[in-house]
Amino acid sequence: MFMKRPVDLESLLVSGRSIVLNGAGVRLGAPSTIALMEGTHSGLQNVVSGPAAASAWAPLLRAMMEQAGWMQGQVASPAPERVVVVTGPGSFTGLRASMALAAGLGAGWMCPVWPVPLADAVRCDVALQGYGRAVDQGVDVLCHARRGRVFVVPAVGKAYALALKDQSIEGTPTKGGKLAGFVAGDAVAGPTALPELLTALRVRAALQGGKGPMALPCQTPSPKAILLAGAFLAASAGSFAPLEPFYVDAPEAKLPAAGLRPQPHA
């Protein structure tokens, strides 16, 4: 279970240089981030968006490292101590591109790669903003998906998808049946929020005998929140889940019917 109190988060010791990558929103209208961190202090940061953004990750990161003085010629010096990457849910393209880059950087620099679920990073951001009590009570994370749908990562239970049609919601939680008292994420906060979604959620909650969720001001997690979420996962679990995208829907990309081409010979 994710750490709840801001004081606990601030007490986590993260030293050295970190690269933070969040590609969850690249093709879905929400901002995605590349950031250079010194300890828990954010240095250079760039927001990327749009269909072509995924191809710009590597050259943009290199330019940022050169600007920050992290490069000596062609070599990062000293090499970052970790790469922290958001695993989703979110844009298939953005997640694959950012995670492939993270894996390559980790192998090249021989440093750990910390995979961080988007919902953990959002809840960390909410706690850092002073809403630790809300996180105690439960914060569901709602983020944009394709074709007018929304992914919900609940505080308790498995992730699922909702569709908003004609001011009503299609889709129900796989467990529990009710949303938490608080929600956050790009589908309910910031310029990409869907006001009609919040209205529909509150109507549904009223029909279930509740008051409906309160939206907290976190559209996308800050680099510091992503880093601290990774630090907490590293400290609490001792090891990370595999570096794989967190998909609510199965990816539409399919392997070729004849299989993949053989590996080239050295």
Is the domain of 193 the same as that of 133? yes
Q: Are residues 106 and 15 in the same domain?
A: yes
- pLDDT number for residue 256: 66
Q: Are residues 114 and 199 in the same domain?
A: no
Return the pLDDT at 10: 63
- Give residue 169's domain range: 120-215
Residues 155 and 99 in one domain: no
Question: In this structure, is residue 113 part of a structural domain?
Answer: yes
Residue 121: per-residue pLDDT: 96
Share of the chain above pLDDT 90, in %: 40
Domain count, the chain: 2
Q: Is residue 246 part of a domain?
A: no
DSSP, residue by residue, the chain = -----HHHHHT----SEEEEEE-TTTTTTS-EEEEEEETTEEEEEEEE-STTGGGGHHHHHHHHHHHTT-EETTEESSPPSEEEEE--SS-HHHHHHHHHHHHHHHHHHT--EEEE-HHHHHHHHHHHTT-HHHHHH-EEEEEE-STTEEEEE-SSS--EEEEEETTEEE---SSSSS--SEEESTTTSSTT--HHHHHHHHHHHHHTTS--PEEPS-SS--HHHHHHHHHHHHHHHSSPPPS----SSPPS----TT-PPPPPP-
Residues 161 and 112 in one domain: no
Which pLDDT score is estimated for 170? Answer: 58
pLDDT in tens, 52-106: 677 788 999 999 999 999 998 888 989 999 999 999 998 888 899 999 999 999 9
Q: Mind listing the pLDDT tens digit for each residue in 177-205?
A: 567 789 999 999 988 888 888 887 777 77
CATH number of the domain encompassing residue 11: 3.30.420.40
Is residue 258 one of the residues assigned to a domain? no
Query: Residue 266 pLDDT more than 70?
Result: no
* One domain for residues 62 and 24: yes
The model carries a pTM of 0.87
* Digit-coded pLDDT (tens) for 138-182: 899 999 888 778 899 998 888 988 887 655 565 554 444 567 789
